[in-house]
Structure 1
Amino acid sequence: MTISRRALLGTGAALGLLTACGSNTGREGGSGGKGPRLAQWYHQYGEPGTEQAVKRYAAAYRKADVRVQWRPGNYDEQTAAALLTDSGPDVFEVNGPSLDQIQGGQVVDLTDLFDGVRDDFNPVALAPKTYDGKIWAIPQVLDTHLLYYRKSLLADAGVRAPRSMDELVDAAKALTTKKMKGLFLGNDGGAGALGMTPLYAAGLSSVTEDGEVGFDDPAAARVLGRLRQLYADKSLLLGAPADWSDPSAFTQELTAMQWCGLWALPAVREKLGDDFGVLPLPADGPHGRPALPVGAYGAAVSARSGHKKEAKDFLKWLWIDGTRHQEDFALSYGFHIPARLSLAKKADKLTKGPAADAVRHATEHGYAEPLLWTPASRTAYQDALSRVIKSGANPESELRSVVREVRAELARVKKKS
């Protein structure tokens, strides 16, 4: 299974079996650097050239013999299991770490590596890597979802780029014809791709800063009702040949607007030139705000490593000091935003047109799921959202049930603190 960096914004459901390799038995040729041998794990990226790039970075490090292991299959579960043993990685890439891994003492505190540079990391990317005032992983790159819209099609229909959820519903309906739908949110109607984004657009959140349910509010039901209206109006493209993460439905004019990812921007630009724009999900209601999800894989150190100091030194060299490698990793293999604000600001590929708009939207309107938003809470919400959109279930009653489940889950994880 080949995984793109877009997976970091998904539901985290890719799980499988452990095939651990010890930190002293790296399968790939090492850097040959002086010092201990370090095993560095990455999940298997879909973008060509990424594997060769990370091996090149490791080979340039001279203070340890870094052995990159490219981990196909169900990486999240492989890593979670390996962290409980002495045969796992020294440093590893992680879509987290999870709250359980932090509370269980499975990862090393990396806060001291950020001395003097913490303010240069995008705060949205850093927040879910931070717990109890400490930073547990270094964000590598940012990915985000965006609302793509075709400028000419909207102009022909006399529709402006939507600035509210009501305008989005109206625009999708006006743009729907016999040959084209107004909006594509995924073949499931948007439950999987949008996730919590509608609630953030309504001015709410998954979990509040003080650790309580962030969407126990009438505004939550109202915004989910907007999604149901899109489905009921038959404005949504369903059953597309490729799902929402692929921009082909948009570039082939099966839809005038599509929720997709930043990774699709070069392909869209190649097909459509300047005839498109990007937006966050529009605000809903008087207290709403534009919203889009931001995710960042991070680099962490296993607490089981026998070379924790050397592992931290390597990560500082690569993901704190190595700005040239960071920019290369973000923009040479796929299309992503560097986690460092200074790099994102000066990167040539991100300074013009929709790419610059995407960086601005991610910086101004991006949110990240907090550590307290656990897989159990996410699953309860996703299931309810699907029932609301596709089956017309009552948003109020569905959300009441989700609030109860999330409240119980929050009590469980806070009890472990």
Structure 2
Amino acid sequence: MGRMTRRAAERGALPAALGAALLALCGLGRAAAPPEPRPSAGAVRGQSVQHISVWMHQGGDGAEFSAVRRAADAFNRGQRAYRVDLAAASYTGNYTERVHGAAATGTLPCLLEFDGPYLYGFAWRGYLQPIDRYMPRTLLDDVLPSVIAQGTYDGRLYSLGQFESGLGLWGNRAHLRAAGVRIPTFARPWTLAEFERALERLGAVAGVDYPLDMSFYASLGEFYSYAYAPLLQGFGGDLIERRHYRSAKGVLDGAASVAAMRHLQRWLARGWTRVVQDRADDFARRRAALLWNGHWHYPALRKALGDDLLLLPLPDFGRGSKTATGSWNWGITASCPFPAGAGAFLAHLMSTAEVLRISNANGAIPARRSSLARSPLYGAGGPLRLYARQISAGRGITRPVTPAYEAIGRAFSQAVGAIAAGGDAQAELSKAAAAIDRDLAAHRHYPLR
């Protein structure tokens, strides 16, 4: 992707007020302003204390950075063998490209944060080392299976994330009530027919400019392959065949995927959704009745809509209600001189308390069951519990476990943009499948090393 996705940027911009309130609720205190990060890229040799450099994708004023800064401070105080040096993003442009550049120049840190699906390419290129030997078995047994699945490549665990993501429909209770449509539930999501009837009725509600905000404003970034893959999968399609990950032909451009994209075009043609790219707040301003997006919107939407805010599952388009999985996670680089120290800090980040701290700060699904049970957002009666139920029920589908994911994301995003602009769904998906297969062929289908 050419720039950091709006999804990543939006998550980094969650209001500090929500995080502070939730941290206080759970007895974790207020997050302090982070000090200046050390400039060194690698761990420092020749010292009695081993310095572990850590990179985060978020800037130093972000809620996630503040949570990790506090975790690093606690880790540094609690032992004398290692010193964590945390560096925030201090650049403009694409974080993934920064990682590639650092790998080429030998300046990767010891512990690296990266968006989940890029793990496979990083591991295949030799940037990372397996981490399973550094993680206690009791810790791994408590981690959500979807987080383990995201971090596993070639049978080894390469990464762990402190949180999981949630994708669904945000709804406006007042608009749904005015339209007289059934409010879908986890047990009974809308069918395709119900969903389209709801869109038609919502379009007639006073004050609703258009029923469904599909978040097209995210542009041609990785968000499209994250957010719209469940649309394909709900119809029975997918981004690539998943048995061997050797071809997208016949899957991405197969009948089921084409049907999904033609329905998207139908929603656009009928005015049920729009390609709005100059603003991102139509749902928050009550111009749209539904929003197809993720957990990171909760703080702002709760503030904007209050008790009218509803969290709904994506519709069952014929193959069950599906959702996306995966988020930012941590891996130890192959060049790290002190992998045991990096592993010790990662285990600390994955503690129940630290997982809960960052989840309360950014609104994401806690990656550990023990943290979920204590979460005011995701525990029993929590306003975001639906996201956790979706993951626990197996409705989430991991993004393709292949180093070709970067090519898949680019090709699919371009296809969605062209289809939304009126291009032929079959032709655009076939073009995308061909581009993915060319990347696979150019890399000899990414043989395991």
Superposition TM-score, scaled by structure 1 size: 0.84
The ranges of structure 1 where at least 4 consecutive aligned residues each deviate by more than 6 angstroms after the TM superposition are 2-5
Partners of 1:166 and 1:46 lie apart in 2 by 46
Q: How does 1:376-387 map to 2 (within 5 A)?
A: 376-387=407-418
Partners of 1:408 and 1:238 lie apart in 2 by 30
Identity %: 22
Q: Which 5+ residue runs of structure 1 have no aligned equivalent?
A: 11-18, 27-32
Q: 1:37 aligns with which of 24, 30, 51?
A: 51
Q: What corresponds to 1:291 in structure 2?
A: 322
Q: Is 1:278 matched with 2:350?
A: no
Q: What corresponds to 2:84 in structure 1?
A: 66
Q: How does 1:14-25 map to 2 (within 5 A)?
A: 21-24=40-43
Secondary structure in 2 matching 1:369: coil
Q: Is 1:92 matched with 2:112?
A: yes
Partners of 2:321 and 2:263 lie apart in 1 by 15
Q: Contact (CA 8 Å) 1:350, 1:359: kept in 2 or not? A: yes
Partners of 1:104 and 1:190 lie apart in 2 by 28
Secondary structure in 2 matching 1:234: coil
Please say which of residues 142-151 and 265-274 is displaced more in the overlay.
265-274
Q: Is 1:347 matched with 2:375?
A: yes
| Root mean square deviation of aligned Cα | 3.0
Partners of 1:197 and 1:390 lie apart in 2 by 21
Structure with more relative contact order (C-alpha pairs < 8 Å, separation 6 or more) = 2
Deviation per CA, 1:29-75, whole angstroms, max 9, x where unpaired?
Answer: xxxx9631111111125874433332221122223011111122242
Q: What corresponds to 1:29 in structure 2?
A: none
Q: 1:358 aligns with which of 384, 387, 392?
A: 387
Say if 1:9 and 1:109 are closer, same or farther in 2 by CA, change over 3 A. farther
Q: Which 5+ residue runs of structure 2 have no aligned equivalent?
A: 12-37, 185-189
Q: Contact (CA 8 Å) 2:232, 2:260: kept in 1 or not? A: yes
Superposition TM-score, scaled by structure 2 size: 0.78
Deviation per CA, 1:293-334, whole angstroms, max 9, x where unpaired?
Answer: 122211111111111222222222332xx2211110111x22
Offset at residue 379 of structure 1 (A): 1.5
Q: How does 1:15-414 map to 2 (within 5 A)?
A: 21-24=40-43, 35-45=49-59, 48-61=62-75, 62=79, 63-73=81-91, 74=93, 75-96=95-116, 97-112=118-133, 113=135, 115-161=137-183, 163-177=190-204, 179-180=207-208, 181-187=210-216, 193=224, 194-207=227-240, 208-212=242-246, 213=248, 214-239=251-276, 242-243=279-280, 248-285=281-318, 288-319=319-350, 322-331=351-360, 333-351=361-379, 352-364=381-393, 365-372=395-402, 373-391=404-422, 393-411=423-441, 412=443, 414=445
Partners of 1:8 and 1:241 lie apart in 2 by 16
Partners of 2:446 and 2:212 lie apart in 1 by 43
Q: Contact (CA 8 Å) 2:119, 2:159: kept in 1 or not? A: no
How many corresponding residue pairs? 392
Offset at residue 164 of structure 1 (A): 2.4
Partners of 1:182 and 1:359 lie apart in 2 by 26
Deviation per CA, 1:204-238, whole angstroms, max 9, x where unpaired?
Answer: 33231332434453111111111101100012244
Secondary structure in 2 matching 1:71: coil
Secondary structure in 2 matching 1:349: coil
Offset at residue 118 of structure 1 (A): 2.9
Deviation per CA, 1:4-52, whole angstroms, max 9, x where unpaired?
Answer: 9932999xxxxxxxx98332579xxxxxx96311111111258744333
One-letter amino acid matched to 1:71: A
